[in-house]
Amino acid sequence: MEVIDGNFAIAEAIKQIGPDVVISYPQIPSILILESIASFIANGEMDSEFLNVDSDYSAMSACIGVAASGGRVFTATASQGLALMHETLFIASSLRLPIVMGITNRALAAPINFNADHSDSMAQRDSGWIQIFSENSQEAYDNIIQAFKIAENKDVRTPVMVGIDSTFAFNLHENVNVQTNDEILEFENKPDSNYSILDIENPKTVGSFCTPDYFFEHKINQNKGIESSRKVIKDVGREFGDRFNRYYGYFETYKLEDAEFAVILMSSAAGTAKKAVDEMRKKGEKVGLLKLRVFRPFPYKELGESLSNLKSIAVLDRVLTPGTYGGPLFIETMAALYSLEKRPLVYPYIYGLGGRDITLKHIEDIFDDIKKGFNNEKGNFEIKYINLRE
């Protein structure tokens, strides 16, 4: 057990995994992960190659170069940095490169802001990456370790981004169970790479120009990777649990079995939401929580099954997607429920933009709100904003 913050937890996981190359470009607060790794290397505690590059765009480009050469590579970013990588994220996933990236989820400018929300990752939700979100430092550590195994699986070969809310990442120290190096190495067990641009005996053209004759098939083939990850994410989560006694799936349910009302959200706000559920349960309220861990691939079937018997649910998005009728989590949840015969009423909420607090009281109010019900007319949604100044 170590008392560390989320950044250090991720750095610790990377030290144990020991990727061939770590690529670095400064971004607050993800750079703290990379600084820790740099000092591990400077002190001889790990011997990965550390490459300081000229931009976030170059960082992902260099990751592509390493991974296309059969190497294991890690980088970390957030916010503006992730936005600048946008073009290359699609290239990484299309070339089926198992890159792993830590994201300290942070708001996107303007105005510029250093605090937590999910705008950065959510803006990349169609980039073809697997997206996993962590509630706290322990989960960030565990998710990074699982991420390599998921990404490198031969049926998957798809990059993974692991998010942790920036608040947690850089100033909240918590107890984290850190496994031994041997345990991690045994768990990881890297398979051979897909292809290597350094394999000079077998020349390859990677990243061709493609006409309408083949493009569609390429994209559908690529999609098979992330579709295959559905099973692999489950298997890896189970194996991780069997070994280290911390089990992972697509989502975590909390007191949901007999619940009538539930809150759905991701990442650090789950801690507060669990406390709110406990408080309300004490008063005899049938409330529960579903914390989504894997946003891409989105677990439609499983999520729908877990929610279909509820009376009503509040979906809490930590991102504003202008011009829509709710955040991405709300819209995906609606889609997951639509084809079910029995389904709850669903209410869209948006909270926590740019690091705005969400408290126990706010979540209790949400439960009261959805119990009463509001705006039940079909097709008419009113987004509620939590803790927004009037």
Partner 1 sequence: MITLKELTNKEDLFVSGHGLCPGCGIPVILKLVLRATEYPIVISNATGCLQVASTEFPATSWKLNWIHSSLGNAASTISGIETMYRVLKKQGKLQTDTEIKFLAIVGDGGTNDIGLSSLSGAIERGHDFVYLCYDNQSYANSGGQRSSASPIGTSTSTTPTGKVLPGKLQYKKDITKIIAAHKLPYVAQTAPWNWEDLYTKAKKAFDIEGPAYLNVLNPCPKEWKIPSNKSIELTRIAADTCVWPLYEIEAGKNININYKPENKLPVTEWLKRQNRFKHLLNVENRWIVDEIQNVIDQNWKCLLKQEKRGINN
Does 14 help bind partner 1 (rule: CB under 8 A)?
no
Q: From the CB of 86, what's the least distance to partner 1, in Å? A: 11
Q: What does the block give as tokens for 113?
A: 């802001």
Q: From the CB of 60, what's the least distance to partner 1, in Å? A: 8
Site string for partner 1, 92-131 (x = CB under 8 A): ---x------------------------------------
Does 199 help bind partner 1 (rule: CB under 8 A)?
yes
Site string for partner 1, 212-241 (x = CB under 8 A): --x---x-----------------------
Q: Which residues pair with 77 in a beta bridge?
A: 103
User: Of 73 and 269, which CB lies nearer to partner 1 in the complex structure?
Assistant: 73
Between CA 224 and CA 155 the distance in angstroms is 8
Is the distance from CB of 338 to CB of 234 less than 8 angstroms? Answer: no
User: Of 37 and 319, which CB lies nearer to partner 1 in the complex structure?
Assistant: 37
Q: Is the dihedral of CA 369, 375, 381, 383 positive or negative?
A: negative
Site string for partner 1, 137-176 (x = CB under 8 A): ----------------------------------------
Does 207 help bind partner 1 (rule: CB under 8 A)?
yes
Assign 242 to helix, strand or coil. Answer: helix
Does 66 help bind partner 1 (rule: CB under 8 A)?
yes
Q: What does the block give as tokens for 201?
A: 């005996």
**Binding residue for partner 1 (CB under 8 A) from 38, 61, 174, 304?**
61
Is the distance from CB of 337 to CB of 307 less than 8 angstroms? Answer: yes
Does 49 help bind partner 1 (rule: CB under 8 A)?
yes
Q: From the CB of 216, what's the least distance to partner 1, in Å? A: 12
- Which residue from 31, 360, 321, 4 is spatially nearest to 178, judged by alpha carbons? 4
Phi, psi of 23 (to 5 degrees): -110, 140
Task: Give the interface segment with partner 1, choosing from 44-52, 106-114, 133-141, 177-185 (CB under 8 A).
Answer: 44-52
Does 197 help bind partner 1 (rule: CB under 8 A)?
yes
Is the distance from CB of 7 to CB of 104 less than 8 angstroms? Answer: yes
User: Of 71 and 326, which CB lies nearer to partner 1 in the complex structure?
Assistant: 71
- Which residue from 100, 119, 106 is spatially nearest to 162, judged by alpha carbons? 100
Measured CA to CA in angstroms, residue 56 lies from 64, 68, 86 at distances of 12, 18, 10
CA angle 227, 231, 235 (to 5 degrees): 150
Task: Give the interface segment with partner 1, choosing from 163-171, 183-191, 210-218, 248-256 (CB under 8 A).
Answer: 210-218
Give the up-direction half-sphere exposure of residue 137: CA atoms within 13 A in the CB hemisphere. Answer: 24
Residues within the interface to partner 1 (CB under 8 A): 20-21, 23, 49, 51-55, 57-59, 61-71, 73, 87-88, 91, 95, 196-201, 203-211, 214, 218
